[in-house]
Structure 1
């Protein structure tokens, strides 16, 4: 008996593809302007309800963070005008050493006129934490370097710590950039990467995120260029996974894809389910 994710009795007749689409809440098509409006209003309402002074967004140079930054800036600009006091969007650049896409992050911030930006290079911190982890491995008889995946978790965790420290010090909400194409492929750290306070892109697949990016005015070079994976200069993250964002976008729209791509996506979705859920307890 297959087991993908919790389902209602009425959903038991669905195919695996239909189950995944329903669970992630993806629409087959969107009106980009309407989606921008809905997501900006969502951010504004959440800020007011929480009593926060604004939003914090990590801008890493890819289209996801650029689109999210555009939504954030629009939300805080509108709230500032409506409420008669300043609400801010703080953009945070977090390269790990030297990264080729840092300039794209700066370009996105400039395009949206972000007033507040900071850079926190995590390279040295990641290396130190990795070294301490390798010492711990040696203590249990494992004399080796960390895996690529393990070091990736350190990078995500280090970024998370800094983002949440900055947000706490300034009463800001951490905005995540997770979306459905990342969720199905598992291309995120545990619990969608940063344990964000709010996720305005969650029910969109990558192609839809690009549609929002165009609508928001994200620079064209960011929209059209794949982001290089951390530590693998020039090699897009989707290439490492063996399935493209176009494949995952087609799949999440309910379109047929090559059987090998569908099998990979369903396998990723199944094996990475723990990354999308809340921490289990009893």
Structure 2
């Protein structure tokens, strides 16, 4: 294992040893404590139909049960955020049935997304036209989804749960201030393999646990697999994060993606403090 690989694993908080039940208990305790300490009353999470939001949702529901058992009033609000229709809508509905949230809200982001895209196109179409058009539209979708979740959380004394984890953080595979924005990240430090292990232990069915991961943001390539974008597999990414050796080509692709996406993992930059003389 290279020094750079070790440094990345440390920065992303990936534990050298993984015990599934210990991690489940630790992450629920983390959520419970943060809800209490922040004085919040609800947890708000967007449900996509994928394994990440399913796992985070199950953890959130267990969290509010623990809080209620301790006489602390708390709710879990699941949010469906389709862009018009969704190709894997059936999977999203199945995830909701498994999670059993206290309330489900459905907000169609298509009208707001399309209106903003039209306005940008009218004023500065050259910035978002051409072959990257659907990429930019996808980023607007992701940010509109987070706007909706924060609107709900703000009205319900809630915290927005994010689904970012070590594998996505490593590859920079999220929209800055979109799905990368949240108040709390219960899956942080986990790779995809470990998330799947947690989901299985919590009763998720294998067809959802091992469903092909997709961001489903670009309208011209619906349900495009994450791995097609990466050029490497999740198994290789997970092996990297567990300190294992992978082939040189995949190693270079991962390191290149990590370096190029450094700005996504950083706070907004500010001028250096200059001492007055």
Q: Kindly provide the CA deviation profile for residues 71-113 of structure 1, in whole angstroms up to 9, marking residues without a partner as x.
A: 1000001101112x53111000111222222222221221132
Structure 1: gaps (5+ residues): 1-12
Is 1:236 the counterpart of 2:225? The answer is yes
Question: Per-residue deviation at 1:240?
Answer: 2.0
1:260 pairs, out of 237, 242, 249, with: 249
Structure 1 stretch 216-225 or stretch 248-257: which is displaced more? 216-225
Q: Kindly provide the CA deviation profile for residues 193-233 of structure 1, in whole angstroms up to 9, marking residues without a partner as x.
A: 24200001111011111111111122322101113422323
- Measured at CA, do residues 59 and 133 of structure 1 come closer, stay the same or move farther in structure 2, by a change above 3 Å? same
Structure 2 length normalisation: TM-score? Answer: 0.91
Specify the SS of the correspondent of 2:70. Answer: helix
Structure 2: gaps (5+ residues): 272-277
Is 1:130 the counterpart of 2:112? The answer is no
- Measured at CA, do residues 143 and 17 of structure 1 come closer, stay the same or move farther in structure 2, by a change above 3 Å? closer
Aligned residue number for residue 28 of structure 2: 40
Structure 1 stretch 102-111 or stretch 30-39: which is displaced more? 102-111
The question of whether the paired residues in 2 share the 8 Å contact of 1:130 and 1:151 is answered with: yes
Aligned residue number for residue 98 of structure 1: 85
Is 1:166 the counterpart of 2:155? The answer is no
Question: Per-residue deviation at 1:143?
Answer: 8.5
C-alpha distance in structure 2 between counterparts of 1:137 and 1:192, whole Å: 21
Question: Per-residue deviation at 1:258?
Answer: 1.6
Question: Per-residue deviation at 1:149?
Answer: 2.7
Query: For this pair of structures, how many residues does the alignment match?
Result: 267
**Divergent runs of 4+, >6 A:** none
Q: Kindly provide the CA deviation profile for residues 122-154 of structure 1, in whole angstroms up to 9, marking residues without a partner as x.
A: 12221221121112214xx66835533322220
Is 1:270 the counterpart of 2:256? The answer is no
Specify the SS of the correspondent of 1:239. Answer: helix
Aligned residue number for residue 149 of structure 1: 135
The question of whether the paired residues in 1 share the 8 Å contact of 2:160 and 2:182 is answered with: yes
Aligned residue number for residue 251 of structure 1: 240
CA RMSD of aligned residues (A): 1.9
